[in-house]
Structure 1
Amino acid sequence: MNLVRIMRVLVHEFFYQHYPFISVLCSLVALATAYLHYEWKVHNYDLMSWKRLSEACCSATDVDYFQLCVLLTILLINVLFVSLIVATYLHPLGPRDTELTLLEIKDRYARFILLRLIARLDRIQSKLSAKRKSLSLHHYTRAHNSMVKAVAVFRKDARKLLLPNESEIMQPIEDIYGVADDEERALRREGYFKLPIDTTDATVKSLFAAAK
């Protein structure tokens, strides 16, 4: 069972990290399949026809090298164009707007602390539901203490988002609003990132004030 879980996590991480290349490759395969299907439907070109065509091209002696060079040049230009698009998509060429980058970092941080709070409260509720037939005062006390700790962690992190002090302002933005990658991946695996939540400062501020 652990092996299946490990394999599922590895596959998930592979697709999460390499999805641009996988999407481009799948698109190329789909286009090639569509073209072969079109040729088969319209011109009755099956696999044997393509095989005979390739053999005829390989055995031909009167090859027009000028046309061949032109075709290869066009193919090279197309390959470079697609590579440029993929490279630009993965690594933007120009410097991005500083304010937009700051907003993205803060939005990721806000989403993380909100989803982490939801996940922790959800786990506490799940534990209580699993023991609903044998619940005692001790279970409720432990659940209450766990909720208090989860809320305290949220308030500590939300305070940096809403009211950063002077020493935090002087630090790099990535250090102030850093997100633990392992916790973020765990939240993604558990499906919490699919929840539609509001990550604006107003929402965080209202929860920060309500969680006193």
Structure 2
Amino acid sequence: MELWHKLRAQLNDFFYLNYPIHNYDLMYWKHMAEAFSQDIDCFQLAMLLVIFAINAIFVFIILSVYLRPALEEGGEMSLLDIKDRYARFILLRLIARLDRIQSKMSAKKNTLTFQHYARAHTNMAKAVAVFRKDARKLILPNESEIMMPIEDIYGVSDDEERHLRRAGYYKLIIDTTDEAVKGLFNAK
């Protein structure tokens, strides 16, 4: 604040010595600046309150977005909601695993060997096999799975789901209809 006062005093002196402004003397402008500097405390307080209100709104929005899935889990979900959540999870998990494999390959693109390609192919095949195993539960549940509680059949790991959310995969718009899952399950 002291720097502000020094700067203002230098500007006042400069204008006082060199420029007459709008037929008012510089003492008028000095008094105007002093009045404004006294009012600036109210202005600063108002700006701080506006900034605080904006931050409060953003925090509320962020908390409502991130806590909504936890609140939905606490309430009763319909069978369709549970299946949709499970389908979205297994599709995003497949995308994340394939993306991770591709990223590793891209990072080593100058030093890739046949072993790197073979390992990447094996890892991709494993990711697809896990997806197909989980997708089969959605498409063709067997008799023992039908008798189990729905949460056991279509359970989603909260840690993995949280990791996928943090990594941004839940922002992807994907089709989780039965036809889309069947198409990926039976892909050749």
Which of the five TM-score ranges fits, normalised by the shorter chain? 0.5 to 0.7
Alpha-carbon distance change, 91 to 144 in structure 1, aligned in 2, over 3 angstroms? closer
Superposed CA offset, 1:50-85 (max 9, x none): xxxxxxxxxxxxxxxxxxxxxxxxxxxxxxxxxxxx
2:163 aligned residue: 186
2:108 aligned residue: 131
1:197 aligned residue: 174
Alpha-carbon distance change, 104 to 131 in structure 1, aligned in 2, over 3 angstroms? same
How many residue pairs get matched? 125
Larger Rg: 2
Separation in 1, partners of 2:111, 2:91: 31
CA offset at residue 91 of structure 1? 7.8
Give 4+ residue runs of structure 1 displaced > 6 Å after superposition. 89-92
Alpha-carbon distance change, 182 to 169 in structure 1, aligned in 2, over 3 angstroms? same
Separation in 2, partners of 1:182, 1:208: 25
CA offset at residue 17 of structure 1? 3.2
Superposed CA offset, 1:136-161 (max 9, x none): 10100000000000000000000000
2:48 aligned residue: none
Alpha-carbon distance change, 106 to 91 in structure 1, aligned in 2, over 3 angstroms? closer
CA offset at residue 18 of structure 1? 8.0
- 2:175 is the alignment partner of 1:168: no
Superposed CA offset, 1:8-54 (max 9, x none): xxx9xx932389xxxxxxxxxxxxxxxxxxxxxxxxxxxxxxxxxxx
Query: Does the residue aligned with 1:135 lie in a helix, a strand or coil?
Result: coil
2:53 aligned residue: none
With structure 2 as the length reference, what TM-score do the two structures score? 0.61
User: Matches of residues 1-212 of structure 1 in structure 2 within 5 Å?
Assistant: 15=63, 16-17=66-67, 101-210=78-187
Separation in 2, partners of 1:195, 1:18: 18
Code of the aligned partner of 2:155? G
CA offset at residue 199 of structure 1? 0.3
Separation in 2, partners of 1:146, 1:91: 35
2:12 aligned residue: none
Alpha-carbon distance change, 199 to 128 in structure 1, aligned in 2, over 3 angstroms? same
Once superposed, what is the RMSD of the aligned Cα atoms?
2.7
**Which sections of structure 2, spanning at least 5 residues, go unmatched?**
1-58
Percent identity over the alignment? 72
Separation in 2, partners of 1:90, 1:150: 27
